[in-house]
Amino acid sequence: MDAAFYSFFQFVGGAAGVALAAWVLPVVSHPTVRYVVTVPGEAGRMVALVAEAVISGGLMLGVLITSNHPRLTRFTGWAAGFLLLVYIAFEAPLSGMSINPARTVGSAAWANIWTGLWIYFAAPIGGMLIAAEAYVRWKGPRAVFCAKLNHHWAARCIFHCRFDELRTTARTGGSD
């Protein structure tokens, strides 16, 4: 149920976020901005597909590396934010820089532009699955404690992971 509601509200939040942005900054709805819709760049759909898979996989790998390391876990959000900054600056011309299907659907719904929608579902999911598999093969399944951006020590992990072990390792100054 957690996953279903999480996914559903990602899409609701994506559409609501675009609506709020257009209300606060009317330029978002301007025909040249088009609600910041994500569409493949001039290089085409295949380049957009590969670019989205690479940035999605890179983000997942960055989150897995930092969130599962006792000394780096508190920097997971910062690492993800830095990667997004780089992706926006350099990858956006290739695919519009989505990473999240809900972000794409939120913009597309308001702009009524659905060009290459399949790319923005297939590439992020595929890229992240490949990155997760690569991480598990590289580090081993026991190395995965949790994969979330914000670690509150007192909160349960809805991902049912080995977060308590990471918390203990971090408090005792574990090595890795």
Give the pLDDT confidence of 121-130 residue by residue, as tens digits. 999 999 999 9
Give the pLDDT of residue 176.
45
Q: Is the pLDDT of residue 175 over 80?
A: no
Percent of the chain with pLDDT over 70: 82
Per-domain boundaries in the chain: 38-97+115-171
- Tell me: the pLDDT tens digits for 62-90? 999 998 888 888 898 899 999 999 999 99
Q: Is the pLDDT of residue 165 over 80?
A: no
pTM of the full predicted structure? 0.81
Q: Is the pLDDT of residue 12 over 50?
A: yes
Write out the two tokens for 28: 């978002």
Give the pLDDT of residue 162.
58
- Tell me: the pLDDT tens digits for 93-137? 999 999 999 999 999 999 999 999 999 999 999 999 999 999 999
For the chain, the C-alpha Rg in angstroms (whole number) is 18
Round to the nearest angstrom and report the end-to-end CA distance of the chain: 34
